[in-house]
């Protein structure tokens, strides 16, 4: 039995596929890891882990996840495994995928992804390989190359596939983009590869024009027909005085000479720029006809309180169809969502779905239950339960469905996540580095304090794939409110020479 000298090991048991099927997971997909599983903590489980965590103590142990299928709560069968390798900046450099061979009772490799980064930490190259079991070697399948500007905007993106006959990479598509000083798209041109001429050929072009407030004013889509021909445009008109805007979509007619109205959206905003009304129209028989409408209200914290959806009927006018009410606790966490449908006959709202959400003291979601209204009562549908370790890392996740026969929550998928000892270096204050990054976990604003004198400070933040999320200079407080929840790596550079690295949780 291999001896383990690490506290936890990242073991992601399954991913997004199953989660998407349950709208109990209403938050960002990146917040969750799907888990087909039940594998209980026991000798069999530890033994299984030890088969691929046999590295020496001083070597880096790759992060790994395994997915499981099962027939009952005590019968689990491995399905797939992925092992990740990282560079010195904790960016993924390789990911190896394995399938479980039931008869052989062993893992068989089938896919590999490799990643390379530019000098700024942007993902520059990703290559996918398939394992050739006969030739016993990796064979290329797809490749993606990207180039960025100094702000991290993607200037060009190339996509290739491996051609076995030519024994070489062959172009599939590429996109070239340009940006304004405000890092907004100004133009995107897409190309496809012509295998006859072995050249890139223009396909589509998108142009973006903004007003003085940097709001998108005109978007135009072109097709290449020996020259660029506009085929679709979106016009945005803003009335900042009355807090309204109109988005009109037009398409070119068959003669490619005249613009024809297609769809239109009208928006109304409150003083905090929250959308309080949205109306959708279609151009039918030479006039705009109302189709759908949404109305919304917010509390003093700009949190959505009520959203009501309407359908337009020619005789009756606007008819309510769906309403969602949101409830928040004293810490402003959304703890309840009530979905109702409009009963036209009774002229009242009927219960439809109910979501109950719980958070721990650090604001991390620990439970979300979905109920449906059946025969005058709420009946369980699905549930997500999560728990975290002492430093805020997700360590357990369970997906359940309601069992009508036993009237209890029945496990469907489970995840147990483990983290290596290296990950425990995550802390608010590192006396060796003499740099403090706090709070960690962070919710709104991240603060940086260095106990030593310095001239310049650069802060860079990356997701687990190595994509740069934030780059700032000479700021000791950083706004991370718009960053999705998850795990991140950061690099702090003092005076362009002293580099400090760490990890944080949002």
Block residue for tokens 């960016």: 91
Structural domain includes residue 170: no
CA 289-295-296 angle, to 5 degrees, is 160
Structural domain includes residue 247: no
Structural domain includes residue 185: no
Q: For residue 488, what is the domain's CATH number?
A: 2.60.40.1930
Tens digit of pLDDT for each residue in 136-182?
999 999 999 999 998 889 999 999 999 999 899 999 999 999 999 99
Peptide bond into 441 cis (omega under 30): yes
Cα distance between residue 155 and residue 174, in whole Å: 11
pLDDT (0 to 100) of residue 282: 98
Structural domain includes residue 12: no
Structural domain includes residue 431: yes
Instruction: Return the structure tokens found at 435.
Output: 């740099």
Tens digit of pLDDT for each residue in 32-88?
222 222 222 222 222 222 222 222 223 333 355 555 554 454 555 667 777 778 787
Q: What is the DSSP letter of 61?
A: P
Query: Full-prediction pTM beyond 0.85?
Result: no
Other C-beta atoms closer than 10 Å to the C-beta of 253 total 10
**Cα separations in angstroms, 13 against 68, 79, 287:** 7, 10, 54
Structural domain includes residue 368: no
Block residue for tokens 């580095």: 433
Structural domain includes residue 340: no
Structural domain includes residue 463: yes
Q: Is 47 helix (H, G, I), strand (E, B) or coil?
A: helix
Residue 454: in which H helix or E strand, if any?
A: none
Tens digit of pLDDT for each residue in 389-418?
776 777 777 888 998 888 888 877 766 655
CA 114-110-170 angle, to 5 degrees, is 55
Q: What is the DSSP letter of 115?
A: E
Structural domain span for residue 437: 426-506
CA 325-331-335 angle, to 5 degrees, is 35
Contact 55, 63 (CB under 8 A): no
Say how many domains are in the chain.
1
Q: Tens of pLDDT along the chain (506 residues)?
A: 232 333 223 333 333 333 323 333 232 222 222 222 222 222 222 222 222 222 222 333 335 555 555 445 455 566 777 777 878 777 889 988 888 788 887 788 999 999 999 988 899 999 999 999 999 999 999 999 999 998 889 999 999 999 999 899 999 999 999 999 999 999 999 999 999 999 999 999 999 999 999 999 999 999 999 999 999 999 999 999 999 999 999 999 988 789 999 999 999 999 999 999 999 999 999 999 999 999 999 999 999 999 999 999 989 999 999 999 999 999 999 999 999 999 999 999 999 999 999 999 888 899 999 999 999 999 999 999 998 877 677 777 788 899 888 888 887 776 665 554 443 333 333 333 456 777 777 888 888 877 567 788 889 898 877 778 899 988 888 999 889 888 888 888 887 766 777 778 88
Instruction: Return the structure tokens found at 342.
Output: 């409009």
């Amino acid at each position: 039995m291999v001896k383990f000298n690490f506290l936890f090991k990242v073991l992601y048991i399954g991913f997004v596929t199953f989660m998407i099927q349950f709208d109990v997971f209403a938050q960002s997909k990146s917040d969750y890891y799907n888990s087909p599983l039940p594998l209980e903590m026991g000798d069999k489980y530890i033994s299984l882990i030890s088969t691929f965590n046999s590295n020496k103590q001083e070597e880096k142990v790759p992060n790994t996840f395994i997915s499981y299928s099962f027939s009952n709560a005590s019968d689990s069968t491995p399905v797939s495994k992925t092992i990740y390798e990282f560079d010195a900046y904790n960016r993924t450099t390789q990911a190896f995928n394995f399938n479980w061979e039931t008869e052989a009772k062993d893992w068989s490799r089938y896919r590999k992804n490799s990643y390379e980064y530019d000098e700024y930490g942007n993902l520059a190259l990703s290559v996918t390989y398939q394992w050739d079991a006969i030739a016993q070697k990796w064979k290329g399948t797809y490749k993606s190359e990207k180039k960025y500007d100094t702000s991290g905007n993607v200037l060009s993106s190339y996509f290739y596939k491996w051609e076995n006959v030519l024994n070489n990479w062959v172009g599939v598509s590429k996109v070239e983009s340009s940006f304004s000083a405000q890092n907004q798209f100004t133009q995107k041109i897409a190309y496809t590869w012509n295998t006859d001429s072995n050249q890139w050929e223009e396909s589509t072009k998108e142009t973006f024009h903004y007003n003085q407030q940097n709001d998108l004013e005109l978007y135009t889509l072109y097709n290449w027909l020996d020259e660029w021909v506009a085929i679709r445009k979106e016009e945005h008109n803003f009335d900042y005085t009355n807090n309204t805007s109109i988005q009109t979509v037009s398409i070119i007619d068959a003669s490619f000479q005249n613009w024809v109205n297609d769809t239109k959206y009208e928006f109304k905003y409150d003083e905090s720029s929250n959308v309080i009304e949205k109306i959708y129209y279609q151009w039918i028989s030479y006039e705009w006809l109302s189709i759908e409408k949404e109305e919304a209200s917010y509390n003093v914290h700009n949190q959505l309180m009520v959203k009501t959806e309407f359908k337009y009927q020619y005789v009756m006018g606007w008819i309510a169809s769906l309403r969602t009410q949101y409830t928040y606790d004293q810490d402003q966490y959304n703890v309840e969502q009530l979905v109702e449908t409009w009963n036209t006959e009774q002229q009242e709202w009927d219960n439809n779905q109910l979501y109950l959400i719980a958070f721990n003291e650090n604001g991390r979601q620990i439970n979300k239950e979905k109920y449906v209204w059946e025969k005058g009562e709420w009946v369980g549908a699905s549930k997500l339960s999560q728990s975290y370790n002492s430093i805020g890392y997700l360590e357990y996740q369970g997906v359940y469905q309601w069992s009508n026969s036993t009237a209890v929550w029945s496990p469907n998928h489970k995840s147990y996540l483990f983290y290596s000892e290296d990950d425990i270096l995550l802390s608010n204050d590192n006396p060796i580095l003499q740099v403090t990054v706090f709070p960690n976990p962070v919710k709104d604003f991240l603060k940086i304090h260095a106990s030593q004198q310095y001239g310049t400070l650069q802060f860079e933040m990356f997701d687990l794939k190595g994509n740069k999320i934030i780059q700032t200079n000479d700021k000791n407080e950083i706004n991370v409110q718009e960053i999705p929840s998850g795990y991140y790596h950061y690099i702090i550079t003092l005076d362009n020479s002293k580099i400090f690295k760490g990890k944080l949780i949002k």
